[in-house]
Amino acid sequence: MKIVYHENSKVFHLWNECISYVMMVLKNGQLGHLYYGKRIHDRENLSDLLELAARPMSSCSFPEDKIFSLEHIKQELPGFGTGDYRSPAVEICQQNGSRISDFQYQSHRIDGGKPELAGLPATYVENQQEASTLVINLQDSVTGIRAELFYTIFAEGGILAKSICYHNEGLQTVQLERAMSLCLDLPDCDYEWVQLSGAWSRERHVRTRKLTMGIQSIGSLRGHSSHQHNPFVVLKRPCATEQQGEAIGVSFIYSGNFLMQAEVDAHDNTRVLVGIHPDAFSWRLEAGESFQTPEAVMVYTDQGLNHMSQTFHRLYQKRLARGKWRDQARPILINNWEATYFDFTEDKLIQIARKAKECGVELFVLDDGWFGARSSDHAGLGDWVANSDRLPQGIAGIAQRVEDLGMKFGLWFEPEMVNEDSDLYRMHPDWILSAPERVKSHGRYQYVLDFSRKEVVDVIYEMMAKILSEAKVSYIKWDMNRSITECFSFGLPPERQGEVYHRYILGVYDLYERLTREFPEILFESCASGGGRFDPGMLYYAPQGWTSDDTDAAERMKIQYGTSMCYPVSSMGSHVSMIPNHQVNRQTPLHTRANVAYFGTFGYELDLNRLTEEEIQEVKQQIVFMKEYRTLLQFGTFYRLKSPFEGNEMAWMVVSQDKRTAVVGWYRIMNVVNGCFTRLRLQGLEADLCYRNSQSGSLCYGDELMNLGLSTTDATAGEVAAGGESCTDYESRIYLLEAQFEFSHF
């Protein structure tokens, strides 16, 4: 890992064993981009990578110079209105109405390690040897605005993190109208754009399309990262697969409105922009004030999508997630929501918890309905005081009863929301986001509290902290069940209304930061109607998220497969639920529901008292298996083997660090008859180790399992005889492979 600056050629080169990132100070003082990709040798005159040519109808920067045109130069911080007609990374409205900027090089420094971003989630290091950071200062001489560009290269993996801080060192107030975190100009457009998109209960499906001339983008204007689009994209070469080929993954560590955009110009150059969505954003920057953009992370690989994902997994698992639970296997939990909804008493909850304890469950989670006048979704949000009719001894009382059973206790909150039918709303009706003289849109009969106001966040913090201080709470499920509408704050003046969306997210981060610091033993799980805010910003505060409200095993195959493109298995909340499934009314076998949920944090979302004795015995076996292998499942190296978006079968696997143990999940959606013999090529094993297959008892070397494959043939390869091997729709199997001995070379 190294960062060098060649004084004579004014070239910056950042590199490690995997990647190089090269840029230079251009003749106009701006910062130009030269190369990003597989590591190349350093040399003094890398500036010759800059390609210039006279092109017709171009606007040029210098008199008598028909070559130097910003329209065709790859740049690090492209502005607006000086010859570059592509989308800019920064746009500043000055008091005279001009939006022209010209950020020129002033200075730079190279620091060991990585700085924190005040008030924002970001990747981090634990010692200075893990990363180096280049900080480049550019300044616009007319406004006095200084742009401080941060480039962090990590010692291991093809990882580069970028962000920008704008400092108003001038005399006038300006409006920052666009402040993207990342601009990456690429020299061609021979890429496929991969995004994770969907909707509630079908989040993060993998969508792929070819880049073409023009703009294609994903984003959110909902006030949160959204079920519709995840703040993550991949640009991959058309020939790239899971196992080979070039790909660039880009992830945005932010939980609010965002934009990720690829623009292909008339000469097949591609500009990638990532940052806060510029629509509905305007930040008033007074003299002496600063604005920090969120962090964007890029990962380059030439070894396929699995390798890219594994790089993100390691980084986000160990250097984004924080705290006690970052490295710990997660407790097996049971959540009462789908078992009871709002219809419960304390004794009924204890009855569910007692049966769960008998089965080996470690954590009981009380979901919605425990507070205020909450007997439906029409009332109670905002009144974070236990309902004494349902919980006579409050949260402390039921928590102690659960603890006395030998289990831990968890609790659901939705701290960002309020119902009109609540004491909090009656006291402070102006504390919601709503526009004067406009209709207030509700979602689930609730409204969004104005977390851009510190006094609102303070009150919610005090209510939550009181409960957590008085009761034995080991886990918090933090929910958020609607998008923002009528985004107006009664706490800000007219000229600052464009700041509300971002200030709201900063308020959410502030509340998370205060609670996680004061209660470091608590495991936090983020949730937003399931997967509506499953993003890296949340992972910084809560090491796991509720992946989707859809708990159906067949649907979860797609959701968790897509999620794994960026996020580690340890971050995915995944439960076994009742059938018929409450989202799709589908019936899937109990073993398949568990076989999908194993590849996540694992738990149950049902009343175990309603299962048959045979099913209870199966649940007990599931829990024994998960307890033995959860560290491997949640923290091992994860491989996608077969995509549920491409056929009737899906498969994935995890491998231990020493490659001596692997767990393979194999799934078939619809049953077949007189089918083919089938094999599944595995990944990540040690070629010379001989593995025992728990399903068949057979012994196979790693090279056989990876090159010939693991046999998945069953009774469907022929005629399924009555009374023979059971084969059904939504079939699945778990293969446990454990090394027995190593091949001896003679």
d(CA 417, CA 413): 10
CB 166 within 8 A of CB 36: no
Amino acid (1-letter code) at residue 642 = K
Please state the length of the chain. Answer: 746
CB 231 within 8 A of CB 204: no
Residues annotated as part of the active site:
479, 549
d(CA 17, CA 728): 48
d(CA 3, CA 276): 28
* Sequence-ordered strand ranges (E) for 141-213: 145-154, 159-168, 174-186, 192-197, 205-210
**For residue 209, how many other CB atoms are within 10 A of its CB?**
10
| Residue 142 tokens, joined | 């007319």
Q: Give the closest residue to 367 by CA, choosing from 534, 272, 287, 481.
A: 481
Q: How far is CA 188 from CA 35, 48, 309, 402, 557, in A?
A: 12, 18, 23, 60, 34
Pairing between β-strand 174-186 and β-strand 283-285 as defined by DSSP bridges: antiparallel
Residue with tokens 């045979």: 614
d(CA 293, CA 280): 16
Q: Give the closest residue to 48 by CA, choosing from 58, 34, 64, 59.
A: 34
Pairing between β-strand 131-140 and β-strand 145-154 as defined by DSSP bridges: antiparallel
Q: Each residue of 565-601: b (16+ CB within 10 Å) or e?
A: bbbbbbbbbbbbbbbebbbeeeebbbbbbbbbbbbbb
Q: How far is CA 437 from CA 27, 440, 488, in A?
A: 53, 9, 11
- Give SS3 for 468: helix
d(CA 136, CA 35): 17
Q: How far is CA 562 from CA 77, 224, 572, 608, 645, in A?
A: 32, 19, 11, 30, 9
Residue with tokens 């092109």: 55
CB 665 within 8 A of CB 734: yes
CB 337 within 8 A of CB 327: no
- Give SS3 for 86: coil
Q: Give the closest residue to 147 by CA, choosing from 190, 108, 203.
A: 108
Q: How far is CA 323 from CA 186, 364, 365, 520, 716, in A?
A: 37, 22, 21, 7, 48
d(CA 589, CA 603): 16
Q: Give the closest residue to 300 by CA, choosing from 93, 18, 681, 499.
A: 18
> What is the residue-wise DSSP string for 630-672?
HHHHHHSEEEEEE-TTSSSEEEEEEE-TTSSEEEEEEEESS--
Strand partners for 649: 668
d(CA 338, CA 512): 26
| Residue 132 tokens, joined | 């180096």
Packing angle, helices 553-563 and 590-597, rounded to 10? 10
Residue 731 zone, left/alpha/beta (φ > 0; ψ -120 to 50; rest):
beta
d(CA 301, CA 208): 18
